[in-house]
Structure formats: C-alpha cells, structure tokens
C-alpha cells in the first residue's frame, strides 16, 4: 500500500513520457535494484532533500538524452537506468554525495 506521498509521486508520473513501467496498473520492477532506486528517490524527496518536481525534471532530461543518443536502436532501453541516472544527479545537486563517490560505488 502506498502512502499519500508515494501515491502522489506515482500518479504525478502517470500518462507522461517518464511514466514508470506498469503491469495491470501496478508498478513492475525487473530487478531488486530498480525497486530500491525507486524507493530511495521517494524517500529522499519525502524527507525534503530535493523536490519531487526537480527529480521528475531530471528524469525527463535523462530519458530525452537517452532517446537522442539512441535514435534508431532502442533495444537497450531500460526506464530504471534513466531513473538511476536522474537520482544520482539529484543526490549530487542536493550535496548528499559527490559525483565521484557515486561512480566509485558502482
């Protein structure tokens, strides 16, 4: 069951280019890291480290950059790869981690 904030965040994305993958109306994750990245983004916005709209803008930009870099072959598309890249940028902008610290952890 989603909290009010989680419900707001998820429904705020529905019907837009950055819509999370769903099956029968519920979110679906192919891997546990995707679920974790989703939860971390929600938790950090809920705790006030950054605004949900700012994160959503980062996500839109990441999706746009991916589409521009892959104009014909979309076989490697992974929504949560873009989500993770947007989350990394949001975490750096919020001053929670330095960019080099994120990439060292991968």
Residue 6 has pLDDT above 90, yes or no: no
Q: What CATH number does the domain containing 77 carry?
A: 1.10.472
Tell me if residue 86 falls in helix, strand or coil.
helix
pLDDT tens for 77-104 read 888 999 999 999 999 999 998 888 886 5
Torsion angle of the four alpha carbons 24, 58, 38, 98, in this order, in degrees rounded to the nearest 10: 170
pLDDT of residue 30: 85
User: Residue 59's pLDDT is what?
Assistant: 92
* Domain of residue 26, residue span: 4-105
Residue-wise pLDDT for 13-30, tens only, equals 655 555 666 666 677 788
Number of domains making up the chain: 1
Q: Rounded to whole angstroms, how far apart are CA atoms 34 and 4?
A: 21
Q: What is the mean pLDDT of residues 41-52?
A: 91
Say which residue, 7 or 86, is predicted with more confidence. Answer: 86
The residues facing 22 across adjacent strands are: 27
Neighbours of 60 (CB within 10 A): 16
Q: What is each CA distance from 30 to 22, 48, 69, in whole angstroms?
A: 11, 28, 23
What is the distance between the alpha carbons of residues 35 and 15, in angstroms, rounded to a whole number? 20
């Amino acid at each position: 069951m989603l909290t009010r904030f989680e419900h707001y965040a998820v429904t705020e994305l529905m019907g837009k280019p950055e819509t999370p993958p769903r099956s029968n109306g519920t979110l679906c994750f192919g891997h546990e890291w995707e679920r974790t990245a989703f939860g971390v983004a929600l938790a950090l916005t809920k705790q006030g480290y950054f605004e949900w709209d700012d994160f959503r803008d980062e996500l839109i930009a990441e999706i746009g950059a991916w589409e521009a870099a892959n104009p014909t072959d979309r076989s490697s598309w992974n929504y949560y790869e873009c989500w993770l890249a947007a989350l990394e940028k949001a975490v750096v902008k919020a001053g929670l981690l330095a960019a080099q610290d994120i990439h060292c952890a991968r």
